[in-house]
Structure 1
Amino acid sequence: MKMLAWLGRKVGGALVVLWLVATAIFIGVRLIPGDPAEAIMGGPGSQASAEALAAARSEYGLDLPPLTQYVMFLAKLIRLDFGTSYALKDPVLQVIAEVLPPTITLALISLAAAWLLSLIFAMLAMRATRVGQWVGNAVEIIAAAVPHFWLGAVLIMLFSSMLGWFPAVDNGTGAGLVLPVLTLALPLAGFLTQLMRDSLSTALGSQFALAARTRGESRLTVFWRHGLRHAALPALGLTGWAFSSLLSGAVVVEAIFARPGLGRSLLSAVLSRDIPMVTGIALFSALVYIVVMALTEALERLINPAGAES
């Protein structure tokens, strides 16, 4: 019964969030300067006649009162009808299905890389001197605060232009994935390391860790068997947020490295006032966030049932 109640709360909360996101999108895209009918006809450069623009507004209901448009908009979403892309002339769900795999791949690899880097940094911090810990803390803060566009440009200049190790743009190979992954993973790794390092310090100084040391367990064993589990829980709770931040960061990273994906498609849709594409991608991103957050909470309950019940 507790699981059913938890699931019911999650589904109800998800529906409310999706409705709020849909409402924000409906309002936001209509505040963007320009005429949506021009986007339907191919953009301002299409030189569509006034009659053609009027026909497009009538066909897509853009000449109706805003409240009527809003009700029709929600009714279509309930039927999972996201419409057809103005620019691509293809169904929105079909376009999302085509551009989603590269973005999901980039986000998952970046998340794994961020976790790996944060574990390495946390282990180094455990063995570092006071000066080393101060330097490491400064590096973590800088890494967490670095904007993706600046970091991507620096990585391209260093590893592509100067050293020639990796391509500056995505070429469909593993080498072309390295710089985009580092651009997304390094800021997140800095944030996770800060969180894990503080929790790890508390865990290793706790009574259960001291008791394990008195039983003869080594410092490294205590770190892996006791400290890491408790230190990772706060960071694990932010994994859903981290994955969603990687999806939003993909908008910048995919544009910098000319990589096809959901983020680049969203940027193009916003610039061209492709309302169906903006709506579909934004709602799908919100749904991914909700699902990942629910899975993360379920994993927390599995690892620490007592903490989840409290």
Structure 2
Amino acid sequence: MTRVLGAISVLWAVATLTFFAVRLIPGDPAQAILGGPGSQASTEALASVRAEYGLDQPLLAQYVAQLGRLATGDLGRSYALNMDVAPLVMGQLGGTLLLAGLSLALAWLLALALAIWSTRGGRLAAQVGSGLEIVSAALPHFWLATSLIVVFSMWWGVLPPISTSGPAGLVLPVVTLAIPLAGFLGQLMRESLLTALESPFVLSARARGESEHGVRWLHALRHAALPAISLSGWAFGSLISGAVVVETVFARPGLGRTLLNAVTVRDVPVVVGVVMIVAVGYILMTVATDVLSRIIDPRLRLP
């Protein structure tokens, strides 16, 4: 029950913050419905649209009506596209989930490899690994995407500069999202792995004659991965936010690009719909990582 109430609270907070944040953007939503500021809509047409969509009501009344629709699963209709938000968002969801899933998997592989190498290669490897983690975690998605396009598309010509339908079109977007996340996860894994290697259960395993390979892979690494697994829910949200930039740079359809376009034209129902779907995904990912952590570490199952 506590988890259910917590999930409902998160969804309510997300819906509330998104609704009021979009309202603070300069411009008139009624103009978005009629084609944008360049439509030169008449005063009568604007008034008619405001009345039809309830935009002439006080802001609090609009907010309550929005919450009521969301409570019944109704995401409303897009102001700019004049279509239901639910099929619009769900049609873009698959591409973004594929991008985020592949990026998370690659980030885990890179972070795991870097953590193992930096803790086994001596002092120099530890310093180099720490430097790579810090630099990677600090790289902006826009700069990294542009750099990868210049190198792999313009200079070498081995990968397309925009996201095509084939596997090659996914490489640069996935790498762009994975590298900064790998830097963060690598830092966390390396510190956790070093702590685990000095723990009593590792010393006991070595005293029993366990090989160094077995100590690392069967004991230390499992415990070292727990903090990173717990933060994978946060990582999912980070990847979705990064997808706004990546999908725009690589001209890739998805939730991120849809959200950016909706914010630009003040399409409130689409903005709220995208953010709510992302919030639900974040909650589900958090629950999944919690279950996985309990499977890996039986101590977490204790009351």
Q: Fold-level match, TM-score > 0.5?
A: yes
Q: Does 1:95 align with 2:88?
A: yes
The amino acid of 1:97's aligned partner reads M
Q: Partner of 1:284 in structure 2?
A: 277
CA contact (8 A) 1:196 1:231 kept: yes
2:120 aligned with 1:104, yes or no?
no
Q: CA RMSD in A?
A: 1.2
For residue 60 of structure 1, report the CA deviation from its aligned partner: 0.4
The equivalent of 2:234 in structure 1 is 241
Deviations 1:199-225 (A, max 9, x none): 111111222222322333221221110
Out of 256-265 and 13-22, give the one that drifted further.
Answer: 13-22
Partner of 1:78: 71
Q: Which moved more, 1:92-101 or 1:117-126?
A: 117-126
Secondary structure of residue in 1 paired with 2:111: helix
1:162 aligns with 2:155: yes
In structure 1, distance between residues paired with 2:135 and 2:257: 27
- 1:62 alignment counterpart: 55
Does the CA contact (< 8 Å) of 1:39 and 1:272 recur in 2? yes
Q: Percent identity?
A: 56
Q: Which runs of 5+ in 2 are unaligned?
A: none
**What letter matches 1:123 in structure 2?**
I
Which residue type is aligned with residue 69 of structure 2? Answer: K
User: Quick one: which of 175, 184, 189 aligns to 1:182?
Assistant: 175
Paired position in structure 1 for 2:257:
264
Task: Report whether the alignment pairs 1:173 with 2:166.
Answer: yes
How far apart, CA to CA, are the structure 2 residues paired with 1:241 and 1:204? 26
202-211 or 188-197, which deviates more: 202-211
Moved more, 207-216 or 247-256: 207-216
1:134, distance to aligned residue in structure 2 (A): 0.6
> CA separation in 2, counterparts of 1:265 and 1:243?
18
Pair 1:49-2:46 in alignment = no
What amino acid does structure 2 have at the position aligned with 1:265? T
The 5-angstrom pairing of residues 105-144 of structure 1 reads 105-144=98-137
Counterpart-to-counterpart distance in 1, 2:194 and 2:4: 37
Give how far 1:277 is off.
Answer: 0.2
* AA partner of residue 80 (structure 1): G
Residue 266 of structure 2 aligns to a residue whose secondary structure is coil
Distance in 1 (alpha carbons) for counterparts of 2:125 and 2:294: 35
The answer to whether the 8 Å contact 2:196/2:220 transfers is yes
Task: Provide the aligned length of Structure 1 versus Structure 2.
Answer: 303
Counterpart check, 1:149 vs 2:142:
yes
Q: How does 1:15-30 map to 2 (within 5 A)?
A: 15-30=8-23
Asked if structure 1 preserves the Cα contact closer than 8 Å seen for 2:29 and 2:79, the reply is no
| Counterparts of 2:126 and 2:255, CA distance in 1 | 39
Q: What is the distance in 2 between the residues matched to 1:262 and 1:157?
A: 25
In the superposition, the TM-score normalised over structure 2's length comes to 0.97
Moved more, 125-134 or 91-100: 125-134
SS in 2 for 1:149: helix
Q: Deviations over 1:237-274 (max 9, x none)?
A: 10110111101110010001100000000000000111
> How far is the alpha carbon of 1:166 from its aligned partner?
0.9
CA contact (8 A) 2:119 2:125 kept: no
Partner of 2:294: 301
Match of 2:198 in 1: 205
Paired with 1:68 and 1:86, the residues of 2 have a C-alpha distance of 18
Aligned with residue 254 of structure 1, among 238, 242, 247 = 247
2:217 is equivalent to residue 224 of structure 1: yes
Q: What is the Cα deviation at residue 308 of structure 1?
A: 5.0
Conserved? CA contact 1:10–1:294, under 8 Å: no
What code does the residue aligned with 2:72 have?
R
1:36 is matched with: 29
TM-score, normalised via structure 1 length = 0.95
